[in-house]
Amino acid sequence: MGKLDGKVAIVTGGTSGIGRRTAEVFVEEGASVVIAARRLELGQEIAAALGSRAVFLRTDITQEADVQAMVAHAVARFGRLDCLFNNAGGPAPAGGIETIPLDRFDAAIAVLLRSVMLGMKHAAPIMKTQGSGSIINNGSVAGLRAGFSSSMIYGAAKAAVIHLTRCVAMELGERGVRVNSISPGAIATGIFGKVAGLPDDAAEKTAEVMKQIFTGMQPLPGPGLPEDIARAAVFLASDDSRFINGHDLVVDGGIIGGRLWTPQQEALGQMRAALRQAAGEP
């Protein structure tokens, strides 16, 4: 038996990175999944490969009509909605606060924050009527600590996602609907290629490079992978997390826990040596 047998889920941004792997794992665990994203041909290919319990719907998550249609499609196709994973995201403008273009700020907020609000807005009435459901929003360690993104706007948007999650959890929890977030750390996906300005297809090829870059950034060895976030999403979508609500699940290998042990000890050793030298001690 799978952990999600009989459940119906929507995964936004389901054609790449975390979203794609989550859709795959959800199906493996027994769920029926609506994959919502922009790339039509790729989305259809992924859904076809996953079998009859997966369907693709071309969706612009910044447009309310598209999000409303996405939720309606899941219910019409599979009869209910048990999980919404608001995963879709993208890069945000970098640079100092005085250089941020307003149009790019607005576009980033639409993708990173407004889409999450829209997903919850239209999933809520379905789940409230059912008296059950799990909404999962994709946060980030950049929303918990400054300096973990090349874009302060990205960090601010993710902080808003995490707090909006808590606020909505207080409301929907009263009707049996759980709302939680996942905050990934350094996960090797193609989003960093997109941040660098590469087109989608080229950006996806950069994930292997990011694995090498992220190795050693956190106490646990090796890079974070989309699989790690997908498994966390399975937990929050499943009945195993039935009493968890308003929680931000950090999946980061310990990167925001503090300074890495070995570099800290090396720095302390250098400081002691400098102090002995200044005091004229051998």
Distance separating the N- and C-terminal Cα atoms of the chain? 67
Q: What backbone phi and psi angles, to 5 degrees, belong to 84?
A: -120, 120
Asked if 120 and 76 touch (Cβ cutoff 8 Å), the reply is no
pTM score, whole prediction: 0.92
User: Which member of 154, 159, 185, 255 is catalytic?
Assistant: 154
| In the predicted structure, residue 195 carries a pLDDT above the cut 70 | no
Task: Examine the residue annotation and report whether 154 is marked as an active-site residue of this protein.
Answer: yes
Residue 225 contacts by C-beta under 8 Å, 6 or more apart in sequence?
21, 187, 188, 211
Q: Look over the chain and give the mean of its residue pLDDT values, rounded to a whole number.
A: 94
Q: Residue 200 phi/psi, 5° resolution?
A: -50, -50
Q: What is the per-residue pLDDT across 129-181, written as a single tens digit (0 to 9) for each?
A: 999 999 999 999 999 999 999 999 999 999 999 999 999 999 999 999 999 99
Contacts 24+ apart (CB under 8 A), 103-109: 105/153, 108/151, 108/153, 108/154, 108/157, 109/153, 109/157
In the chain the domains, ranked by start, together with CATH numbers, are 8-257 (3.40.50.720)
